[in-house]
């Protein structure tokens, strides 16, 4: 029987059960929970969460809660996919800390329970000391499933890598080892360099940013949801049409948003090597070196981007030397040691021709910077349990001219397609909301440019600035002192 959604933000959460460390006592603490949070992030390797408890039963001592308990629950939007952390699924959460314990009133204390997936704790407790060979995705799968390491039984969603290598993991925690591998991973079906490894309620993911933007055929991925933000009366459907019911409208409405980064800190991006970067690769095998210059605009179209291949900054001349923003290779210079035949294979640091190491490393750094320092915004929406990190969504932000003057047009740069990079599921006794962090590495509409080749600024008439001796002011200063 199909479940009915009563209102936007409706949710199903039958219970929240905590199991003591001996599994001799299981208590449903749902009625004690003030706030329930689950956190997922593209930049974190495991799911985490927290429970804010208002306790009048002294549960913390009776259970007792010591940081080694299991937590089971199942959360979902009616008719949607579960966030299933039950014993039946085999993936309960694990409590690891208690914080903020304080007396709220007579007979009532509050505290916060922190929990995480089992792999989070396995990572802390184990280390990898092993040699691997083959594709990077195969190595990650081996570490994740090995009973001596993470021992995970969860689904691993992978994008196959094209580079193969022999790698020795030197006594590292499993997530450290995987993070080292993700830096070397190169996509099998594109020019992407560098992967992300993260966990969502649907399992672990080892994939490139490009694979989140497009499918294996290069077609843009379908947006999971479309969101809008306008200062409109709830009954005003003039902006979105009359083909939506109230609940759909509210699920697609943004309660609030703020831009965390508008992608326009050109100075920071320039210094970080996003636009121009010279990598000097030093080959230890034959004692040679090679300079490789990265040019952002020349390489931009080699990979796909979330809102199409429309660059967020044009390459017109920016100074009197008539160079564009990507023409300054020395904005960042780095030295990269590499070698051949490290494991009897004629390859370099990425498992391919050693001569490519410099430009591959520069591409990897730029592609990651485009995500970390791209256009990022945080928004709050009604809870939708089927959304997860890595999904594409649309954000339709109206232009500031207001709906009368702009004819309902959306912002040409900041509207469009985004990828969810962080997500918080927040549940209270009455409501379920998602706090999303969205990122894009391109713009919805290309910036117009006349393709000028000369810097339009007006140059000073003097060939050089004036150099003056500071002592020339000494006579004036002494004269002023005598007359004062």
Domain borders along the chain are 12-116, 266-372
Mean pLDDT in residue range 226-251: 68
Mean pLDDT in residue range 183-202: 94
Between residues 293 and 457, the one the model is more confident about: 293
Q: 108 and 54 in contact (C-beta within 8 Å)?
A: yes
* Among the listed residues 439, 368, 419, the one whose alpha carbon sits nearest the alpha carbon of residue 185: 368
Give percent of the chain above pLDDT 90: 71
Q: Angle, nearest 10°, between helix axes 118-125 and 174-184?
A: 100
Q: DSSP code of 253?
A: B
Residue found by looking up tokens 């008719």 in the block? 79
- CATH code: domain 12-116 is 2.40.10.10
Q: 152 and 140 in contact (C-beta within 8 Å)?
A: no
pLDDT tens per residue, range 29-84: 999 999 999 999 999 999 999 999 999 999 988 899 989 999 999 999 999 999 99
User: Which of helix, strand or coil describes residue 370?
Assistant: helix
452 falls in which pLDDT band (50, 70, 90)?
Answer: confident
Res. 182: pLDDT tops 60: yes
Res. 461: pLDDT tops 80: no
Terminal Cα-to-Cα distance of the chain (whole angstroms): 96
181 falls in which pLDDT band (50, 70, 90)?
Answer: very high
Measure the CA–CA gap between 240 and 246, rounded to whole angstroms.
12
Res. 234: pLDDT tops 50: no
Res. 456: pLDDT tops 70: yes
Least confident of 77-91, 95-109, 240-254, 367-381: 240-254
Half-sphere exposure of 305 (CA within 13 A, CB side): 25
Measure the CA–CA gap between 193 and 187, rounded to whole angstroms.
7
How far is C-alpha 152 from the geometric centre of its chain's CA atoms?
23
For 475, phi then psi, to 5°, come to -65, -45
In this predicted structure, what is the pLDDT of residue 239? 46
pLDDT tens per residue, range 396-444: 988 776 555 556 678 888 999 999 999 999 999 999 999 999 999 999 8
In this predicted structure, what is the pLDDT of residue 420? 98
In this predicted structure, what is the pLDDT of residue 344? 81
What value does the mean pLDDT of the chain take? 90
In this predicted structure, what is the pLDDT of residue 457? 87
Res. 144: pLDDT tops 50: yes
Q: 28 and 16 in contact (C-beta within 8 Å)?
A: yes
């Amino acid at each position: 029987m199909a479940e009915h959604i009563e209102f936007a933000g409706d949710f199903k959460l039958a219970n929240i059960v905590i199991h003591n460390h001996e599994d001799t006592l299981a208590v449903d603490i749902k009625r004690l929970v003030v706030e329930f949070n689950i956190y997922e992030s593209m930049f974190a390797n495991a799911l985490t969460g927290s429970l804010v408890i208002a306790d009048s039963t002294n549960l913390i001592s009776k259970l007792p809660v010591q940081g080694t308990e299991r937590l089971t629950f199942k959360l979902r939007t009616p008719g949607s996919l579960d966030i299933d952390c039950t014993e039946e699924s085999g993936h309960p959460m694990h409590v690891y800390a208690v914080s903020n314990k304080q007396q709220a009133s007579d007979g009532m204390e509050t505290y916060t329970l922190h929990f995480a997936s089992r792999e989070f704790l396995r990572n802390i407790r184990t280390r990898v000391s092993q040699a691997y060979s083959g594709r990077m995705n195969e190595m990650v799968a081996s570490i994740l499933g090995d009973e001596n390491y993470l021992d995970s039984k969860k689904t691993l969603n992978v994008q196959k890598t094209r580079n193969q290598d022999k790698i020795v993991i030197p006594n590292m925690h499993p997530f450290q080892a995987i993070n080292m591998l993700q830096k070397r991973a190169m996509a099998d079906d594109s020019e992407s360099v560098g992967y992300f490894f993260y966990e969502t309620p649907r399992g672990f993911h080892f994939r490139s940013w490009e694979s989140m933007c497009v499918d294996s055929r290069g077609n843009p991925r379908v947006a999971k949801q479309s969101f809008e933000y306008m200062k409109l009366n709830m009954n005003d459907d003039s902006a979105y049409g009359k083909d939506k019911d109230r609940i759909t409208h509210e699920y697609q409405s943004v309660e609030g948003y703020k831009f965390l980064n508008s992608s326009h800190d050109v100075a920071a991006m320039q210094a970080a090597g996003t636009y121009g970067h010279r990598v000097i690769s030093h080959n230890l095998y034959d004692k040679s070196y090679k300079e490789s210059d990265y040019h952002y605009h020349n390489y931009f179209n080699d990979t796909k981007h979330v809102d199409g291949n429309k660059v967020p900054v044009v390459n017109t001349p920016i100074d009197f030397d008539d160079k564009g923003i990507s023409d300054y290779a020395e904005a960042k210079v780095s030295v990269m040691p590499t070698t051949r035949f490290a494991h009897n294979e004629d390859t370099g640091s990425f498992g391919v021709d050693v001569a490519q190491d410099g430009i591959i490393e520069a591409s990897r750094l730029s592609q990651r910077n485009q995500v970390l320092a791209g256009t990022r915004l945080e928004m709050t929406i009604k809870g939708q349990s089927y959304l997860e990190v890595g999904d594409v969504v649309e954000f339709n932000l109206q232009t500031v001219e207001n709906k009368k003057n702009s004819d309902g047009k959306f912002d040409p740069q900041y509207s469009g397609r985004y990828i969810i990079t962080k997500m918080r599921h927040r549940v209270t006794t009455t409501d379920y909301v998602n706090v999303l962090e969205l990122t894009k590495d391109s713009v919805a509409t290309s910036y117009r440019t006349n393709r000028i080749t000369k810097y339009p600024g007006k140059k000073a008439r003097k060939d050089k600035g004036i150099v003056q001796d500071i002592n020339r002011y000494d006579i004036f200063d002494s004269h002023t002192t005598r007359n004062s």
